[in-house]
Structure 1
Amino acid sequence: MPLRSPRWIRVIAGGAALALAAGCSLLDGSDDAGGKSGSPVAPVASAGAPTPGAPSPTAPPRPPAVPGTVTIAFGGDVHFSERTEARLAAGPETALGPLHETFARADFAMVNLESAITERGTAEEKLYHFRTPASSLDALAASGVDVVGMANNHAVDYGPVGLQDSLEAARTSALPVIGIGTDTAAAFRPWIAEANGVKVAFVAASQVQDLTNAKYAAGPRKPGIASALTATRLVQAVKEAKAAADVVVVYMHWGIEGQKCPSAEQKTLAQKLADAGAAAVVGTHAHVMQGAGMLGKTYVGYGFGNFLWYGTSPYPDSDDTGVTTLTITHGKVVGEEFTPAFIDGRGVPVPQTGAEAERITRRRDSLRPCTGLTAPPA
Structure 2
Amino acid sequence: MIMAKINDKYLISLLVLLVIAQTGLIFVLSKQARKNYIDEKNLTTHYSYFSGLDFYEEAYKQAEGQITVADEKIYGGILPHHLMVEDKIAAFFTGIENNDYETIILIGPNHFLSGKSDIITSQAKWATPYGELMPDLDLTRNLNDSGSASIEENPFINEHSISGLVGFIKKNFPNARFAPIIVRPETTTKESEQLAQVIKNNIDADKTLILASVDFSHYQPVAVADWHDEKSRNVIENFSFNQVNNLEVDSPASIYVLLKYLELVKAQNSKLIFATNSGKLINKPDEPTTSHNFYYFTKGEKENNSLINFLFFGDIMLDRHVKEIMNKNGRVDYLLKNLAGGEKRFFQGIDVIGANLEGAVTVGGQHYPPEISIDFAFDPKDVAQLKNYGFSFFSLANNHILDQGQAGFTETQKNLGELGFDYAGCADRKVDECSVKIKEINGVRIGFLAYSMVYGVLDEDKVVEQIKSLKKETDFVVVNMHWGVEYEQQARSNQIALAHKMVDIGADIIIGSHPHVVQEMEVYKNKPIFYSLGNFIFDQYFSRETQEGLGIGLSIDNGKIAITLLPFQSKVSQVELMAGNDKQKFLNWLAESSKVSEEYKKQLKVGKLF
TM-score, with normalisation over the residues of structure 1? 0.71
- Give the whole-Å Cα distance in 1 for the aligned partners of 2:377 and 2:596: 34
| Aligned-partner Cα distance in 2 for 1:238–1:96 | 34
Matched residue of 1:106: which SS?
A: coil
Structure 2 equivalent of residue 248 of structure 1: 477
Q: Secondary structure at the match of 2:545?
A: coil
Is 2:328 the counterpart of 1:84? no
Distance 1:291 1:372, change over 3 A: farther
Shift, 1:321, TM fit: 1.2
Change (3 A) 1:309 1:83: same
Give, as a single letter, the amino acid of the residue that structure 1 aligns with 2:581: A
Instruction: For structure 1, list consecutive stretches of 5 or more residues without a partner in the other structure.
Output: 1-30, 39-59, 211-227
1:298 aligns with 2:544: no
Q: Return the match for 1:167 from 368, 389, 413.
A: 413
1:283-326, CA deviations, whole angstroms, 9 ceiling, x for partnerless residues?
1111110112311131111110011112324x652211131112
Any conservation in 2 of the 1:280–1:298 contact (CA below 8 Å)? yes
Name the residue aligned to 2:392: 146
| Aligned partners of 2:438 and 2:445 also within 8 Å | no
Q: Which amino acid aligns with 1:319?
A: Q
1:177 positional shift: 1.8
CA distance in 2, matches of 1:154, 1:363: 30
Deviation of 1:372 (Å) = 12
Q: Indicate conservation of the 8 Å contact 1:176/1:191, yes or no.
A: no
Contact 1:75 1:323 in 2 (8 A): yes
1:233 aligned residue = 462
Specify which structure has the higher proportion of helix. 2
More displaced stretch, 201-210 vs 367-376: 367-376
Give yes or no for the alignment of 1:339 onto 2:592. no
Match of 2:336 in 1: 96
What residue number does 2:69 align with?
A: none
CA distance in 1, matches of 2:517, 2:553: 18
Q: Paired residue for 1:326?
A: 554
Question: Would the alpha carbon gap of residues 160 and 93 (structure 1) be closer, same or farther in structure 2, given more than 3 Å must change?
Answer: closer
1:91 & 1:130 partners in 2: Cα distance?
17
Decide whether aligned partners of structure 1 residues 189 and 153 sit closer, same or farther in structure 2, where only a CA change above 3 A counts: same
2:313 maps to: 75
Calculate percent identity across the aligned residue pairs. 21
Q: Which amino acid aligns with 1:282?
A: I
Kept in 2, the 8 Å contact 1:96–1:140? The answer is no
Distance 1:358 1:336 in 2: 17
Which residues in structure 2 correspond to 1:16-165 (within 5 Å)? Answer: 32-33=240-241, 35=243, 67-85=305-323, 86-87=325-326, 90=330, 93=333, 96-100=336-340, 101-118=345-362, 119-123=366-370, 125=372, 127-165=373-411
Report the counterpart of residue 44 of structure 1 in structure 2: none
Match of 2:436 in 1: 189
Aligned-partner Cα distance in 1 for 2:433–2:485: 27
Name the count of aligned residue pairs. 304
The Cα RMSD (Å) is 3.3
Aligned partner (choices 243, 248, 269) of residue 498 of structure 2: 269
Amino acid at match of 2:590: R
Q: Does 1:308 align with 2:308?
A: no
Name the SS of the counterpart of 1:170 in structure 2: helix
Query: Structure 2 counterpart of 1:35, which letter?
Result: Q
The structure-2 alpha-carbon separation of the partners of 1:205 and 1:358, relative to structure 1 and needing over 3 Å to count, comes to same
| Structure of higher CA gyration radius | 2
Q: Report the CA distance between 1:130 and its aligned residue.
A: 1.1
**Which residue identity is paired with 1:275?**
D
Change (3 A) 1:83 1:91: closer
* 1:361, distance to aligned residue in structure 2 (A): 2.0
Partner amino acid for 2:568? Answer: A
Relative to structure 1, the CA distance from residue 357 to residue 116 in structure 2 (aligned partners, 3 Å threshold; closer, same or farther) is same
Question: Does 1:205 pair with 2:434?
Answer: no
Letter in 1 for 2:584: E
Q: Which amino acid is the alignment partner of residue 290 of structure 1? A: Q
Q: Which residue of 1 is the match for residue 508 of structure 2? A: 279
Q: Which residue number in structure 2 is paired with residue 350 of structure 1?
A: 576
Change (3 A) 1:160 1:332: same
Structure 2 stretches lacking a partner, 5+ long: 1-238, 247-289, 296-302, 604-608
CA 1:192–1:298 in structure 2 vs 1: closer, same or farther (change >3 Å)? same
Offset of residue 365 of structure 1: 2.3
State the AA in 2 paired with 1:175. Answer: F
Kept after mapping to 2: 8 A contact 1:291/1:371: no
**Residue 254 and residue 68 in structure 1: after superposition, are their counterparts in 2 closer, same or farther (change >3 A)?**
same
Q: Give a deviation string over 1:177-202, Cα, whole Å, max 9, x none.
A: 21038x9543122232213x422111
Are the aligned partners of 2:540 and 2:546 in contact in 1 as well (CA < 8 Å)?
no
TM-score, normalised via structure 2 length: 0.45
Q: 1:79 to 1:233 in 2, by over 3 A?
A: same
CA displacement 1:71-106 (0-9 Å, x = unmatched): 221111001113322548847937534434444333
The residue type paired with residue 238 of structure 1 is: I
Cα distance in 2 between the residues matched to 1:294 and 1:338: 14
Cα distance in 1 for residues equivalent to 2:569 and 2:548: 5
Contact 2:401 2:409 in 1 (8 A): yes
Deviations 1:156-185 (A, max 9, x none): 11223322322322342311121038x954
SS at match of 1:136: helix
